[in-house]
Amino acid sequence: MSIINQSRLSDLIHQKEGPLTRELLLSPGGFGLGKVPEKNTPDAMTQMVCGFCGTGCNLNIHLKDGEGVCVTPTTEYPVNLGMACPKGWEALSVLKSPDRAISPLIKKSHNHWEPVDWDTALNLFTRKFKGIQQQYGTDSVAFLSTGQMVTEEMAFLGALAKFGMGMLHGDGNTRQCMASAVTAYKQSFGFDAPPFTYQDLEESDVLVFIGANPCIAHPIMWERVMRNSHEPEIVVVDPRKTETAMQATQHLQIYPKSDLTLFYGIAHILIQRGHLAEEFIQNHTEGFEEFAAHIKDYTIERVTNETGLSRTAIEHFAEIIHSGKRVSFWWTMGVNQSYQGVRTAQSLINLALMTGNIGRTGTGPNSITGQCNAMGSRLFSNTTNLLGGHDFLNAEHRSKVAETLSIPVDRIPTQNSWPYHKIIEGILAGKIKGLWVICTNPAHSWINQRQVRDILDRLDFLVVQDMYHTTETARHANLVLPAAAWGEKEGTFINAERRISRVKRVTRAPGQALSDFSIFKLIAQYWGCADMFSQWKSPEDVFQMMKQLTKGQPCDISGIKDYAAIEEQGGIQWPFPESDTKSLEQQRRLFEDGQFYHQNGRAKMIFSEPTKMPEAPNEQYPFILLTGRGTASQWHTQTRTKNSDVLRKLYPARIYVELNPQDASELSIKPNDWIFVESQRGRIKAQAFITQSVQPGQIFIPMHYEQTNQLTDAVFDPYSSQPSYKCCAVRVLKN
Ligand SMILES: Nc1nc2c(c(=O)[nH]1)N[C@H]1C(S)=C(S)[C@@H](COP(=O)(O)OP(=O)(O)OC[C@H]3O[C@@H](n4cnc5c(=O)[nH]c(N)nc54)[C@H](O)[C@@H]3O)O[C@H]1N2
Ligand SMILES: Nc1nc2c(c(=O)[nH]1)N[C@H]1C(S)=C(S)[C@@H](COP(=O)(O)OP(=O)(O)OC[C@H]3O[C@@H](n4cnc5c(=O)[nH]c(N)nc54)[C@H](O)[C@@H]3O)O[C@H]1N2
Ligand code: SF4
Ligand SMILES: [Mo]
């Protein structure tokens, strides 16, 4: 008998749109959660946050007959002040595509999937995963989530998978992205808390960008730097001469992965010269003496040797940091994606602490988030920490969460999940047999791709829940669940400056695609744990629960009344407890009182010796491969951006490799030649782009092309388990 009960389904999916009839269920566009805005509302416009990068620009969505038809940037929003990058302008176009998944698909044979209805799909989902759990234990099914769904969906997924379905292991694609920053902040401050607000970009007199290329990756954040009226010094630390480096007042073109040595060296110079915020160090930090003793060996000779920078450049950099009144450090993937990402991030935190550049306007050790809701996943995905920034290992935290959600406390795991790479290794070891991948595309984006694809194929059952049915990971799936996307559902995102903003439904999802929220709700029904989620009726109900969960936490948002309040105030930054008196201030930063989240209120200075590059260039593989973002118009694995005619015109269609002219000439390679790039793991063909922006002995390939991760080496930071995507040894061969 069918588990689908029409009246229950209608309750689940269409509570805002009246009863769901069988006709509606079967009609194209008949699914989705929430209400498309009324036909021609007075100004025929609504607003919401962009669904691509962590900048979190607000967009005006112009409506025709109740449907979003075009986008303009919101002028009065405190984030983007009337600006958007090409992806934002094209946000609606990418939703319309023949690649959209419009019904569940079941794999029938190699390379052959057949559409089925939701009832069949969810019966299979339940039967397979329950069967695996019965045979191999509940922890033999795991999930991989994302930084790109609305927070309410992330919370639902995490709670459903762990509390409802009994999974122990679940991680997110934010492991690829933010894990090093998260661990660095947690260890140093006692909680994962990026302290800044975007106004700091305009108010600093010295801005240091480390392993960050905001001109490409956060273009509107960069516009905020351009509005800085203090004639700032802009220092860019990057082995490549990036678009951002070209705009800098100083470019420190360091040898890859020598950042730790550089920043210890700078700390050494500042200490030697007595250029310290002694009172701040004394009153608000711990471990300074040990740190000072540790970095004694980082002489200028050592630093010049290891980084390849000149003595003058290094001394000038130290002097700029000292003479700046408001110095801010901004880092992204050039720091996080490394085998020593955590310690490198902490070397920046230490610099900010020892110079008193924290808690004041225009300062801070500031990690920039990548995905639109990376911050939401850090707090609410129930993966590495228990919902709301809590700790699975802490009995009080477990009781609080259980009580708030009205669930039995014994449903909450008392152990931490494996990180992403352990889940992958778990598949190889036969411990993980079922995997549910939601809103991420690891068969393209994960490190050492051939290996991961092979491993995915070893699963007994792989479910991929995506808005497109054509992703590289969907090609390995036993079951594809079609999801509604940004613009087709309701919820909130949290951007890089901790600002919570609204996402809305302005168009219908195609075919039978459902919001992830509705899919989770249905799965709870089919699994038989719907009672546990009886309060989880709508995204806004979940938001109200999230508020309760954060009470008393550093990320307390219990003072936010509801969705309407978020909109009225131009987004709200956490924390925002009920007692907050600064409700109307649109820019808020952390640590203004010098109090950190460790029990003694102090920030810790953490350090260790740099480690050797795991796969250094050698005779056989003499080049270092760097990877990262290519253009402002390409997004990650390109499932979305390739669907816009406008965006497609703005980036190279074919994979290319940046190569220094000196190397090109030695290898007799000419511009646009098709060449081979080979590592120990794979060999790819790419077009040569000969440019001074990379140094001799180094090459750069954007991550957006499917082939790139065939080359990368599965090496991880020991503290954060973040993959080290940005260095491995390769050779370059003429075709
Ligand atoms: N257009 C566009 N924008 C995006 C994204 C996208 O896909 N497309 N993705 C979003 C996401 S999720 C993220 S995480 C961010 C990433 O944003 P960014 O981190 O700014 O982008 P990347 O190009 O990955 O890496 C930044 C730089 O790190 C440098 N780098 C490599 N190795 C080292 C090193 O050892 N030391 C230093 N100092 N630098 C190094 C690279 O040369 C590169 O220029 O972008 C976000 N924004
Ligand atoms: N070599 C190399 N590799 C890298 C990097 C690098 O710098 N170099 N960067 C890494 C980083 S920082 C990141 S963040 C990752 C990104 O890696 P991924 O997360 O794998 O990349 P995306 O293309 O953003 O994948 C998101 C998927 O979710 C789908 N999707 C979008 N919206 C929705 C939705 O609302 N619901 C559902 N269910 N699906 C949706 C999209 O179609 C897409 O398939 O890549 C990492 N990989
Ligand atoms: S900068 Fe980021 S948030 Fe702003 S429009 Fe571009 S992709 Fe969207
Ligand atoms: Mo990322």
Going from N- to C-terminal start, the domains of the chain cover: 105-177+377-503+512-559, 195-367, 623-734
Is the pLDDT reported for residue 38 higher than 90?
Answer: no
Q: What is the pLDDT of residues 516-575, one digit of tens each?
A: 999 999 999 999 999 999 999 999 999 999 999 999 999 999 999 999 999 999 999 999
**169 CA to centre of ligand 2 in angstroms:** 20
Report helix angle 311-323 to 259-272, nearest 10.
Answer: 60
Q: What is the per-residue pLDDT for 43? A: 64
Q: Indicate whether residue 50 lines ligand 3 (CB < 6 A).
A: yes
Give domain 105-177+377-503+512-559's CATH number out of 3.40.50.300, 3.40.449.10, 3.30.43.10, 3.40.50.740: 3.40.50.740
Atom of ligand 2 lying closest to residue 636 CA = 23
Is the pLDDT reported for residue 9 higher than 60?
Answer: no
Which residues lie below 8 Å from residue 289, measured CB to CB, with a gap of 6+? none
Atom of ligand 2 lying closest to residue 486 CA = 35
Q: What is the rounded CA–CA span in Å between residue 75 and residue 85?
A: 14
Report the percentage of the chain scoring pLDDT > 90: 92
The model's pTM: 0.96
Closest-approaching ligand to the CA atom of 77: 3
**606 CA to centre of ligand 4 in angstroms:** 25
Closest by Cα among 121, 259, 305 to 726: 259
Q: What is the per-residue pLDDT for 540? A: 97
**131 CA to centre of ligand 3 in angstroms:** 43
Mutate to test the pocket of ligand 3, among 83, 87, 198, 221 (most ligand atoms within 8 A of CB): 87
Mutate to test the pocket of ligand 3, among 47, 48, 71, 85 (most ligand atoms within 8 A of CB): 85
Q: Indicate whether residue 626 lines ligand 1 (CB < 6 A).
A: yes
Q: What is the per-residue pLDDT for 15? A: 39
Q: Indicate whether residue 55 lines ligand 3 (CB < 6 A).
A: yes
Is the pLDDT reported for residue 249 higher than 70?
Answer: yes
Q: What is the rounded CA–CA span in Å between residue 200 and residue 230?
A: 12
Q: What is the per-residue pLDDT for 583? A: 59
Q: What is the per-residue pLDDT for 177? A: 97
Closest by Cα among 265, 277, 294, 300 to 352: 277
Cis amide prior to 575 (ω within 30 degrees): yes
Least confident of 21-30, 80-89, 467-476, 514-523: 21-30
582: confidence class by pLDDT, cuts 50, 70, 90: low
Q: What is the rounded CA–CA span in Å between residue 570 and residue 85?
A: 19
Mutate to test the pocket of ligand 1, among 213, 627, 724 (most ligand atoms within 8 A of CB): 213
Mean pLDDT, the chain, rounded, equals 94
The closest residue, in CA terms, to atom 6 on ligand 3 is 85
Please name every residue paired with 388 in a beta bridge, in sequence order, or none if there are none: none
With tokens 């630390």, the residue in question is 237
Q: Supply the CATH classification number for the domain 623-734.
A: 2.40.40.20
The closest residue, in CA terms, to atom 17 on ligand 1 is 217
Atom of ligand 2 lying closest to residue 489 CA = 35
Torsion of CA 387, 393, 397, 402, to 10 degrees: 70
Please name every residue paired with 73 in a beta bridge, in sequence order, or none if there are none: 59
Q: Indicate whether residue 88 lines ligand 3 (CB < 6 A).
A: yes
Say if residue 521 is exposed, middle or buried (CB neighbours under 10 Å; 0-12, 13-18, 19+).
Answer: buried
Q: What is the per-residue pLDDT for 4? A: 45
Q: What is the per-residue pLDDT for 552? A: 96
Is the pLDDT reported for residue 282 higher than 90?
Answer: yes
Q: What is the per-residue pLDDT for 28? A: 39
Report the percentage of the chain scoring pLDDT > 70: 94
Q: What is the per-residue pLDDT for 95? A: 97
Q: CB atoms < 10 A from the CB of 676, how many?
A: 15
**206 CA to centre of ligand 3 in angstroms:** 24
Is the pLDDT reported for residue 515 higher than 60?
Answer: yes
Q: What is the per-residue pLDDT for 579? A: 86
Fold of 195-367: Dimethylsulfoxide Reductase; domain 2 (3.40.228)
Return the higher-pLDDT residue of 579 and 171. 171
CA angle 146, 151, 154 (to 5 degrees): 50
Average pLDDT for 133-160: 98
Using DSSP bridges, classify how beta strands 206-210 and 327-331 pair: parallel, antiparallel or unpaired. parallel
Q: What is the pLDDT of residues 614-650, one digit of tens each?
A: 999 999 999 999 999 999 999 999 999 999 999 999 9
Atom of ligand 1 lying closest to residue 54 CA = 46
Q: What is the pLDDT of residues 419-466, one digit of tens each?
A: 999 999 999 999 999 999 999 999 999 999 999 999 999 999 999 999
66: confidence class by pLDDT, cuts 50, 70, 90: confident
